[in-house]
């Protein structure tokens, strides 16, 4: 099937879009600007809380700050791996959030997260289509595509948690 021309717009079929553009768009959807899947995104959720809310513990759940740190840890680690060809992160450190004791420290984490999110999406957008099917660092980690899609899925999982925790925190103040 080819593309259809409708007025001034050319509609592309999914198969006609380059994977790098499609995947980068999906990353931006969950991390930065989207509302289509979850009616929200990470940026919207984390910018809507202050540092006290971000660090507030609700029962045994992770804090919003810890979840933000967690996803940012993987974004930064994978960006580094894209650059140097070595995976130097470990799951056991992915929740090692340093204490946040001020709005400044929370805003720094948010800024780092947003910067790494944009860098990650940009890096994926720049990738040649052939790289997605190649092994990521080591064959035991699967392909580049599997790892990047894992970031998307993992981010949606924690975005849902953040959304619920935020609702619990804000409803308790009412």
- Please report, for the chain, the start and end positions of each structural domain, with discontinuous segments joined by +: 18-173
17 contacts: CB under 8 Å, gap ≥ 6? none
Which residue has 């009412």 as its token pair? 174
Q: What is the pLDDT along the chain (174 residues), one digit of tens a residue?
A: 344 444 454 444 445 569 999 999 999 999 999 999 989 999 999 999 999 999 999 999 999 999 999 999 999 999 999 999 999 999 999 999 999 999 999 999 999 999 999 999 999 999 999 999 999 999 999 999 999 999 999 999 999 999 999 999 998 764
Q: Are 43 and 72 in contact (CB under 8 A)?
A: no
Q: What is the pLDDT of residue 5?
A: 47
Stated pTM of the model? 0.88
The predicted structure's pLDDT at residue 17 = 64
Q: Hey, which residues does 6 pair with through a beta bridge?
A: 9
Q: State residue 9 phi and psi, 5-degree precision.
A: -105, 140
What distance in Å separates the CA atoms of residue 14 and residue 21, rounded to the nearest whole number? 11
CATH of domain 18-173: 1.20.120.450
Sign of CA dihedral 47, 51, 52, 56: positive
Q: Which residues lie below 8 Å from residue 83, measured CB to CB, with a gap of 6+?
A: none
| Cα–Cα distance, 17 to 29 (Å, whole number) | 16
Q: What is the DSSP string of 58-95?
A: -TTSPPHHHHHHHHHHHHHHHHHHHHHS-----GGGTT
**Per-residue CA distances from 54 to 26, 31, 69, 160, 168 (Å):** 25, 17, 11, 15, 12
């Amino acid at each position: 099937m080819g593309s259809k021309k409708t007025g001034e717009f050319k509609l592309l079929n999914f198969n006609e879009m380059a994977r790098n553009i499609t995947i980068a768009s999906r990353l931006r959807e969950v991390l930065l600007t989207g509302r289509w899947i979850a009616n929200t995104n990470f940026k919207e959720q984390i910018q809507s809380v202050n540092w006290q809310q971000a660090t507030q513990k609700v029962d045994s759940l992770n804090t919003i700050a810890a979840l933000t740190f967690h996803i940012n840890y993987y974004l930064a680690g994978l960006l580094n791996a894209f650059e140097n060809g070595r995976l130097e992160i470990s799951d056991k450190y992915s929740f090692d959030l340093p204490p946040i004791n001020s709005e400044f420290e929370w805003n720094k984490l948010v800024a780092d997260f947003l910067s790494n999110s944009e860098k990650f999406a940009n890096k994926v957008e720049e990738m040649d289509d052939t790289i997605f099917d190649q092994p990521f660092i080591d064959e035991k980690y699967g392909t580049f595509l599997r790892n990047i899609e894992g970031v998307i899925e993992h981010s949606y999982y924690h975005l849902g948690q953040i959304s619920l925790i935020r609702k619990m925190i804000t409803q308790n103040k009412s």
